[in-house]
Amino acid sequence: MLLLDISIICHSQKLLINPGFEYWDKINKPSGWTHAENCLKDSTLINSGTYSCLHTGGTTTTSDLGQTIPVAAGKAYTLSFYYRTGNPSTGNGSRIWCYWKDASGNSITDPSTDAIIRPSKYLKSDIWDQFSICITAPAQAAGFYFEVRTNSNSMMYWDDFVFEETIATGNNENTESIPEIYPNPAYDYLTIINIEDFQCIDILNITGTKVWSSRISGEQSILIPVSGFTDGVYIIRIISSGRLITRKFIKNVF
């Protein structure tokens, strides 16, 4: 049986400035965001806190929202945020459009992450949804330019951005409950045990798109149907307050 077992601990340090849009220099300028086009402070649709960012694309152009984050080459990072489409019936929605930067501010080509940080797929959801990816900074990387781009005739709400360094650890370094999954590869169902200390489970495909999610409350195990999943590698995120465990599994037809 093939086992892929990786534990991830997220640093509590938030590398993004003003990630929850709680602070604004002006009604159309969120503090810390160096590139903010067509953004408005909004208190009507929020994921948490007091404010979100209402981001509107132009009639024929995109609108961008971004900032540069210092990173270290070879280190792993988790990027996530919540989004909601204001007008799901029009426009293509939004997507992330990011680049690694060297110490001089030049963009770095990285074949292992370029398709993940500049995906072709757009984000659209008429309810709050979460996007999340795990990426490793390539050699020579000193910065990460993070940008979300809202397309023409589209409207998006952004909230609760996270960009954090992650550290992979062995199971024997953690005395708390360690979730286990089986079988791996899986065909019909996937079982996860030792989850009583966690509150949420997400399954993402390799591009970071969430394909399944569930809240949990004290259960020791869960049975997840995966027969409808496309064959390939998936990432499971098992989340509690201050703790993130990830596992990889393969969906395969025997």
Q: Say whether both 68 and 159 belong to one domain.
A: yes
CATH code of 187's domain: 2.60.40.3080
The domain boundary, picked from 131, 151, 168, lies at: 168
* Single-letter amino acid code for the residue at 113: T
Q: Say whether both 147 and 49 belong to one domain.
A: yes
pLDDT digits (tens, 9 = 90+) for 136-145: 999 999 999 9
152 found inside a domain: yes
Rounded-to-10 torsion of CA 45, 198, 227, 122: 30
Q: Is the pLDDT of residue 121 over 60?
A: yes
* C-alpha–C-alpha distance, residues 109 and 121, integer Å: 20
34 found inside a domain: yes
Q: Say whether both 137 and 63 belong to one domain.
A: yes
10 found inside a domain: no
pLDDT digits (tens, 9 = 90+) for 17-75: 999 999 999 999 999 999 999 999 999 999 888 999 999 999 899 999 999 999 999 98
Give the range of the structural domain holding residue 211, as residue numbers without chain letter. Answer: 176-251
16 found inside a domain: no
- Please give the tally of structural domains in the chain: 2
The domain boundary, picked from 139, 168, 197, lies at: 168
Query: Is 186:224 a contact under the CB 8 Å cutoff?
Result: no
